[in-house]
């Protein structure tokens, strides 16, 4: 009986790139078909639009504004979620305090809170960052709690038997043992941050990439619209890769709960 040999990383990349190349080729051919609508642009036209936007510099300031909101909300919400999640995992009291409120608020689409927040803070960076932070809090909180609750009891038993204090146990045992699951929560929070970044910029007056997408759509400037979408995708991809690299370094020797 033959064994299925593992596919080498180089071969996997070849398969992936080949599949993507075929899809892009078919897309490009379809974009030159007769009777196609004007908004159906091919990958070559979209790539040219991206390069044009970068070369003229009209996307740099919107990109900086958008990334500021996304990263600020991610850092605030992610940090709060991780800290409270780890505390909830090791303390029944903290878990009882936060479980019901987080379950109630978590069920509300956070973009629905944006108009209410804007009543107090206006359609400002502060209101957008707050909504992004709220959205990032829950994946970080739930995964950190799950990671802390899933710690091998032997680690805590050894810590107690060696008379290690509660704070030292939290820092030296709970945090490292919970890292794989916690980092998964942060990666999910980062994806959510980019989603809410665009959603909050579409509503109300703004100066980010989300607004650029909507303005280009309303003006019928479809090449600019697709260029802005591609830039959002690229920023999200490289941000996710950065967090993934940090996670791999911090969790070296441990099994990550979510690869890719």
pLDDT at 8 over 90: no
Task: Note the pLDDT of residue 10.
Answer: 62
123 found inside a domain: yes
Please give the residue range of the domain that contains residue 197: 42-250
Note the pLDDT of residue 1: 47
The CATH number for 204's domain is 1.10.3720.10
In terms of C-beta density within 10 A (0-12 exposed, 13-18 middle, 19 or more buried), how is residue 162 classed?
A: exposed
- Residues 208-232: what's their mean pLDDT? 91
Work out the angle between the directed axes of helices 60-90 and 125-149 (0-180°, nearest 10): 40
Does any domain span residue 233?
A: yes
**What's the confidence (pLDDT) of residue 99?**
82
256 pLDDT exceeds 70? no
Q: What is the pLDDT of residues 154-188, one digit of tens each?
A: 777 677 766 667 777 777 778 888 888 999 999 99
Mean model confidence pLDDT for the chain: 85
pLDDT for residue 212 is more than 70: yes
In a 10 Å sphere around its CB, with 0-12 CB exposed, 13-18 middle and 19+ buried, how is residue 205 labelled?
Answer: exposed
Report percent pLDDT > 70 for the chain.
88
Stretch among 65-79, 99-113, 233-247 having the lowest mean pLDDT = 99-113
Q: Where are the alpha helices (DSSP H) in the chain?
A: 9-31, 43-56, 60-90, 92-106, 114-121, 125-149, 153-161, 166-169, 175-202, 209-219, 222-250
Q: Which residue has the tokens 């979408």?
A: 229
For residue 260, is pLDDT > 50?
no
**Which pLDDT belongs to residue 253?**
62
- In this prediction, residue 137 carries a pLDDT of 95
Average pLDDT over residues 208-226: 91
pLDDT per position as a tens digit, 110-148: 888 898 898 888 888 999 999 999 999 999 999 999 988
Give the pLDDT confidence score for residue 259 in this predicted structure: 46
Question: Per-residue DSSP letters for 11-68?
Answer: HHHHHHHHHHHHHHHHHHHHHTSTT--TT---HHHHHHHHHHHHHHTTTHHHHHHHHH
Instruction: Look at residue 27 and tell me if it is in a domain.
Output: no
Please give the tally of structural domains in the chain. 1
Structure pTM?
0.84
CA distance 164 to 179: 20
Mean of pLDDT values over 220-233: 92
Cα gap 170→150, rounded to integer Å: 14
Please tell me the least confidently modeled range out of 10-14, 64-68, 80-84, 172-176: 10-14
In a domain, 19, yes or no: no
pLDDT for residue 87 is more than 60: yes
* Residue 258: predicted pLDDT: 43
Lowest mean pLDDT among 106-110, 228-232, 243-247: 106-110
């Amino acid at each position: 009986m033959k064994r299925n040999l593992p596919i080498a990383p180089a071969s996997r990349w070849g398969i992936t790139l080949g599949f993507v190349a075929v899809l892009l080729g078919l897309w490009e051919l379809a974009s030159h078909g007769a009777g196609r609508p004007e908004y159906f642009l091919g990958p070559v036209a979209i790539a040219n639009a991206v390069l044009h936007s970068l070369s003229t510099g009209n996307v740099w300031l919107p990109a900086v504004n958008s990334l500021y909101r996304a990263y600020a909300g991610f850092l605030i919400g992610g940090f709060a979620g991780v800290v409270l999640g780890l505390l909830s995992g090791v303390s029944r009291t903290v878990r009882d305090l936060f479980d019901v409120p987080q379950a109630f608020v978590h069920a509300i689409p956070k973009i629905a809170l944006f108009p209410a927040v804007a009543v107090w803070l206006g359609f400002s960076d502060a209101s957008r960052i707050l909504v992004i932070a709220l959205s990032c809090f829950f994946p970080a909180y739930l995964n950190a709690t799950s990671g802390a609750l899933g710690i091998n009891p032997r680690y805590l038993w050894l810590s107690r038997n060696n008379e290690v204090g509660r704070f030292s146990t939290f820092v030296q045992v709970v945090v490292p043992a919970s890292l794989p699951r916690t980092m998964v929560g942060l990666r999910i929070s980062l994806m959510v941050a980019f989603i809410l970044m665009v959603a909050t910029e579409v509503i109300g007056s703004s100066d980010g990439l989300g607004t650029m997408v909507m303005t280009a759509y309303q003006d019928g400037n479809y090449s600019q619209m697709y260029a802005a979408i591609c830039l959002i995708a690229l920023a999200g991809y490289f941000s996710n890769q950065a967090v993934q690299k940090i996670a791999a370094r911090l969790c070296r020797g441990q099994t990550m709960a979510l690869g890719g």
